[in-house]
């Protein structure tokens, strides 16, 4: 078991005062069998007039808060401590079911059992259906190939074919544009891979989280470690080493996430689980500064 501490600060500075604001934050890491949340606190300045917490439809904790007094800056500081175990250490990719078999269980059939993962086989606002992504995915999924094996091959191809380049895309850059230019950030790598999997009729979801900033001796520094990160989960049931049926894959770094990846939230795409989003009155132009630090403390 590995224990990590994550510090995440977000700061907005506004040209003119914001008179009212309502925000939603996904900044509390998940707590489950592979990741135990030991401690978490979220500091917000200015202090909210109202603050509530609940669980969204995908099982992620989230915080809503409103600000009723004029302010020229907004600062959120999140501190989390998590204990991680290697969730996929026993993965046997070749023993996973054929991808067509899993695809069949994600199709509607009258009288057949409903599989909740089907939600993540459908297009979503930031991951639409795109024919070029079906063609791109096809090479990784020949007839009868084990699903995990095909997904690993797809991850390796995305990593090899796309160049990681900070600031080469924006949050709202269309997926087809990122795919065609063959470069982007972790969000783009993840959306491309998710789209390719869904075009094969498979279920895939977007994971937001953090990477260990300083790797273990002899291990490479992972791309995206100085900011919040994103990767993919593909639905891979009945597979040794895939707890809960979801296999984590990080196409930005071409790795199966281990104890250096902290899961924050899961959704259909980035839009479901952005770390912070909201609506404001006033403010004019603004600047955004985000810093993340993840360190091992055990």
Residues contacting 170, CB < 8 A, separation 6+ = none
What's the whole-model pTM score? 0.93
**What are the pLDDT digits (tens) for 179-225?**
999 999 999 999 999 999 999 999 999 999 999 876 656 666 665 55
Assign domain 2-84+274-296 one CATH number from 3.40.50.150, 3.90.180.10, 3.40.50.10490, 2.60.40.2250: 2.60.40.2250
Q: Name the pairing type of β-strands 276-282 and 261-267.
A: unpaired
**CA–CA gap between residue 265 and residue 254 (Å, rounded):** 20
Q: Is 93-272 the same fold as 2-84+274-296? A: no
pLDDT digits (tens, 9 = 90+) for 4-22: 999 999 999 999 999 999 9
- Of 166, 126, 151, the C-alpha closest to 237 is 151
Strand residue runs (E) in the chain: 2-25, 35-45, 50-55, 61-67, 71-84, 163-164, 183-184, 204-211, 229-235, 246-249, 261-267, 276-282, 286-296
CA angle 158, 162, 163 (to 5 degrees): 140
Angle, CA of 151, 154 and 155, to the nearest 5°: 90
The pLDDT value recorded for residue 215 is 61
Residue 63 pLDDT greater than 80, yes or no: yes
CA atoms of 103 and 152, how far apart (whole Å):
17
Q: Where are the domains of the chain?
A: 2-84+274-296, 93-272
Tell me the CATH number for domain 93-272: 3.10.620.30
Local structure of 280: helix, strand or coil: strand
- Per-chain mean pLDDT for the chain: 92
> Across residues 39-47, what is the average pLDDT?
97
Read off the pLDDT of residues 120-151 as tens digits, 9 standing for 90 and up: 999 999 999 999 999 999 999 999 999 999 99
């Amino acid at each position: 078991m590995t224990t990590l501490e994550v510090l995440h600060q977000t700061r907005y500075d506004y040209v003119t005062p914001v008179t009212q604001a309502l925000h939603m934050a996904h900044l509390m890491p998940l707590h489950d069998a592979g990741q135990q949340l030991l401690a978490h606190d979220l500091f917000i300045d200015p202090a909210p007039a109202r603050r509530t917490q609940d669980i969204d439809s995908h099982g992620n904790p989230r915080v809503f808060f409103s600000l009723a007094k004029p302010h020229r800056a907004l600062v959120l500081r999140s501190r989390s401590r998590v204990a991680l175990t290697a969730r996929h250490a026993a993965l046997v990719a070749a023993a996973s079911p054929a991808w067509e078999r899993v695809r069949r269980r994600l199709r509607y059939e009258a009288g057949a059992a409903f599989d909740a993962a089907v939600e993540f086989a459908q297009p979503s606002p930031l991951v639409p259906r795109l024919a070029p992504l079906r063609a791109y995915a096809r090479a990784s999924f020949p007839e009868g190939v084990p699903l995990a094996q095909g997904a690993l091959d797809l991850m390796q191809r995305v990593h090899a074919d796309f160049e990681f380049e900070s600031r080469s895309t924006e949050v709202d850059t269309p997926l087809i544009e990122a795919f065609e230019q063959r470069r982007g950030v972790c969000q783009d790598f993840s959306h491309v891979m998710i789209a390719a999997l869904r075009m094969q009729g498979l279920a895939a979801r977007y994971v937001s989280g953090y990477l260990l900033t300083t790797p273990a001796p002899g291990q490479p520094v992972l791309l995206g470690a100085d900011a919040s990160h994103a990767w993919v989960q593909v639905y891979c049931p009945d597979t040794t080493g895939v707890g809960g049926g979801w296999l984590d894959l990080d196409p930005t770094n071409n790795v199966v996430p281990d104890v250096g990846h902290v899961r924050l939230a899961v959704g259909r795409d980035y839009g479901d689980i952005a770390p912070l989003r909201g609506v404001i009155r006033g403010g004019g132009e603004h600047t955004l500064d985000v810093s993340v630090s993840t360190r091992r403390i055990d």
